[in-house]
Amino acid sequence: MPEATTGPLTGVKVLDLSRFIAGPLCTQILADFGAEVVKIERPSGEDSRHHGPYHRDESIYMFLYHRNKYDASLDTRHPEALGILERLIEWADVVVENYRPGTIEKMGIGYERMKELNPDIVLVSVSGFGQTGPDSRRALFDAISQASSGLMSMTGEPDGKPTLSGTYIADYTTAYQAAIGTLLAILHRERTGEGQLVDVASFDTMFSALGIRLIAQLMLDLDMPRSGSRDLLTAPVNVYEAADGPIYIQAGTASLFPKLCAVMKRPDLTEDPRFATVQGRMEHQEFLEGEIGAWAATRTSDDIAHTLDEAGVPNAKVASVAEVAKSPQIAARDMIVESEHPELGTIRMPGNPIKMEKTPPTVRKAPPRVGEDNEHVYRAILGMSDEDLIRLHQAGAI
């Protein structure tokens, strides 16, 4: 049992019917701030439980998106599952699902049925292409979202192939949008008593994040090519090889370029009329990058970072995951948290990036194993008897 919480979402009850990343991360955000989240998964565990690497026979993938939740196992195809799901919908304030559109209707718990059971229910449907449109029934994973939305075409070197992001950026961003949508729907219900359907699509989310390239296309019919690690609008901005590894330097603005030149002891670059404007520096960025690269190559990344920090020029050594995980800044921001599980031991996880003065996020319960909280969900929440649980277990329903 998790410890009591006084978070801003204390008292909000969430039924989590989602899998993989976008839905589970959305509900974990809600749980971190006090919501009581019940996650339903089949007795054998959702697919992601079977992805390595493993810690004590448990996929560490599950440690990312499931803390602070109660886990109840349920075979949703079992004849008795519908009745159990309906009782949980009656209990819940919010239902989060990320099946392909049309699936929950086939299960008998579509939005119209949910409203019959619980008139002010908030249903958050997270999907690939949304609940409407010609592509709504298409399957989608993160990489498909990156490819179809235009994001992949923007990523990579100009003369190379389109490239995936190094993380599941579409799923993560969609989770954040789904959490925002959930909170807005809760606020609306508190003001009006009305529930509603929240429809969040990964494709929409990525399309909305295309930034300057999108608005350039919409307003100017301009197709901006891939730019690698360069900035689209200013120069010089790029990754440079120091004597001991890569460092990123952002010196493209009118105020930053002279500061970089001063650090390099190159007043000639500042005084050269070719580099006096952003447009000029963009036109001559290969030359400027060559000069900066030659300067950086003779110095360590720590030395470069120190001198640029003192001059007020934004920069960062290109850190590995191992390096950033040990960063004092990460420690100071509580961005690595720990939780003790009775069987899995100490679990280390990314912290919540939302820092709140009065109602901070908390870690009250380690990510659970499949069906770990069946007793709580089926007894305490639904009031089932010993006989009910034995029968359901023997029948393979839970």
Residues involved in catalysis: 171
Q: Residues with Cβ < 8 Å from 300, sequence gap 6 or more?
A: 242, 243, 244
Cα distance between residue 375 and residue 93, in whole Å: 21
Distances (CA, A) of 205 to 87, 192, 298: 32, 28, 43
Cα distance between residue 254 and residue 275, in whole Å: 10
170: how many CB neighbours lie within 10 A of its CB?
A: 30
Burial 178-213 (b: 16+ CB within 10 A, else e): bbebbbebbeebeeeeebbebbbbbbbbbeeebeeb
Question: Dihedral sign, CA of 106, 382, 398, 368?
Answer: positive
90: how many CB neighbours lie within 10 A of its CB?
A: 13
Q: Is the peptide bond before 236 cis (omega within 30 degrees of 0)?
A: yes
Q: Residues with Cβ < 8 Å from 119, sequence gap 6 or more?
A: 195
CB 123 within 8 A of CB 189: no
318: how many CB neighbours lie within 10 A of its CB?
A: 15
- Secondary structure letter of residue 353 according to DSSP: S
Strand pairing class (196-201; 237-242) = unpaired
- With tokens 């295309």, the residue in question is 210
Distances (CA, A) of 355 to 1, 10, 192, 336, 338: 25, 17, 29, 13, 17
Burial 137-152 (b: 16+ CB within 10 A, else e): eeebebebbbbbbbbb
